[in-house]
Chains A and B, each alone.
Chain A
């Protein structure tokens, strides 16, 4: 896709108002429903809308300017316009296949479009849309899925490593076939990342709560913890508590743009023994803490 600033014809330093005004001007000029006879209006309006979607959102615009996302992130699937219905198609008769052919006849009659002489009627195929639910580990490591489109066609979809929830993949030429030699439509696959039972993703980082026993927390320990690439050994420092955070460097998700991996953050949760521990109970009964704790002091003020 083209540079969105170029599409809207604004400078990179343009203010929000300048972007909005540029969009309004172009939308008036190219909205397909306001220009039913203009075949190119739809494609132009789609580009204009996508550029506007990207630049009107301050966060997306910042990320685009910083090179974190590219313009294709804003691509939207084709929508059906009012003109698609209001310009009721004429039944094929006497070799005239469609409104397009009638338009061409009109162009011949009234001039203007004379150069567009084509043999017969051709049209691009419909785009198809598909929602693909995937697991967090699939986007963390990349994966391949086979999907079956409504027309029964199967398609191999490669989920790129580091893909984001609601990311749209465009599979060029995998939509419905065109007519009369027209190009095939595209398939748009929207990735929906399903929540993982214990890993949580925040940007490129992975957060996970890991339970540790009282003994591991007090005395410190080497424990095995899960990561998106399988278990690794982590060190619980002596005197850890619930809420103590450990960081595993570069164990997060690889950023698609920078190639850098995020980190995994482990939040420890101290768990008490589940069975009876008479020795522990006996010890606590006689235990005199060196420092008297007042853990609820803040709450009761």
Chain B
């Protein structure tokens, strides 16, 4: 488990005021335990992503929540898509072939 101070020590660009804002705005959601905040490995990776977006790609504080919301929607959609794919992949070969054929019909890019 990682604390705010550990994050500040490992990510040199990170400002304390900024991470406090991000926590307040719910962009990252560390767990509170006995008055201290704990970040899981996943949240640390998320903080690193937010730092890259904000400090390096210069996405300003106002736009940041929107970008992260889109990122979250992207991952959520991928999750559903991968679940669906796994379900398809579990079907018999002829069912899979029928689904692939239906997709092909539906995809104008593949029609020549």
- Which chain A residues have a beta carbon within 8 Å of chain B's beta carbons? 23-24, 27-28, 31, 33-34, 36-37, 79-88, 90, 93-96, 99, 101-102, 105-106, 108-111
Smallest distance from the beta carbon of A265 to chain B beta carbons, Å? Answer: 32
6 sampled A-B residue pairs with Cβ under 8 A: A28-B57, A31-B49, A87-B82, A88-B79, A105-B85, A110-B103
If the complex has contacts A96-B89, A102-B85, are A33 and B49 also in contact, measured as CB distance less than 8 A?
A: yes
If the complex has contacts A24-B57, A37-B78, are A110 and B41 also in contact, measured as CB distance less than 8 A?
A: no
Write the B52-78 contact mask toward A (1 if CB under 8 angstroms, else 0). Answer: 100011100000000000010011001
Closest B residue to A99 using CB positions: B82
- Which chain B residues have a beta carbon within 8 Å of chain A's beta carbons? 41-42, 45-46, 48-49, 52, 56-58, 71, 74-75, 78-79, 81-83, 85-86, 88-90, 99-100, 103, 107, 109-110
Contact A93 B71 (CB under 8 A): no
- Of the candidates B52, B78, B86, B110, which one forms a contact with A31 in the assembled complex, judged by CB atoms under 8 Å apart? B52
Which of B42, B79, B82, B99 has the largest number of chain A CB atoms within 10 A? B82
Which of A36, A85, A86, A99 has the largest number of chain B CB atoms within 10 A? A86
- Of the candidates A24, A27, A109, which one forms a contact with B100 in the assembled complex, judged by CB atoms under 8 Å apart? A109
Smallest distance from the beta carbon of A49 to chain B beta carbons, Å? Answer: 9
Contact B109 A111 (CB under 8 A): yes
Smallest distance from the beta carbon of B23 to chain A beta carbons, Å? Answer: 16
- Knowing that A79-B45, A96-B86 touch, tell me 4 more A-B residue pairs with CB under 8 angstroms: A31-B57, A79-B48, A94-B90, A95-B89
Contact B45 A85 (CB under 8 A): yes
If the complex has contacts A36-B75, A93-B90, A102-B89, are A27 and B52 also in contact, measured as CB distance less than 8 A?
A: yes
Contact B110 A111 (CB under 8 A): yes
List chain A residues, Cβ under 8 A from B75: 36, 83, 86-87
Smallest distance from the beta carbon of B32 to chain A beta carbons, Å? Answer: 20
List chain B residues, Cβ under 8 A from A34: 71
Smallest distance from the beta carbon of A48 to chain B beta carbons, Å? Answer: 11
List chain B residues, Cβ under 8 A from A23: 56
- Of the candidates B45, B100, B107, which one forms a contact with A82 in the assembled complex, judged by CB atoms under 8 Å apart? B45
Closest B residue to A33 using CB positions: B49
> Whole-angstrom distance between the alpha carbons of A101 and B86 in the complex?
9
Contact A86 B103 (CB under 8 A): no
If the complex has contacts A24-B57, A109-B100, are A82 and B86 also in contact, measured as CB distance less than 8 A?
A: no
Contact A24 B79 (CB under 8 A): no
List chain A residues, Cβ under 8 A from B79: 87-88
Contact B49 A82 (CB under 8 A): yes
> Whole-angstrom distance between the alpha carbons of A126 and B19 in the complex?
29
Smallest distance from the beta carbon of A128 to chain B beta carbons, Å? Answer: 16
Closest B residue to A25 using CB positions: B57
> Whole-angstrom distance between the alpha carbons of A224 and B3 in the complex?
52
Smallest distance from the beta carbon of B86 to chain A beta carbons, Å? Answer: 5
List chain B residues, Cβ under 8 A from A83: 75
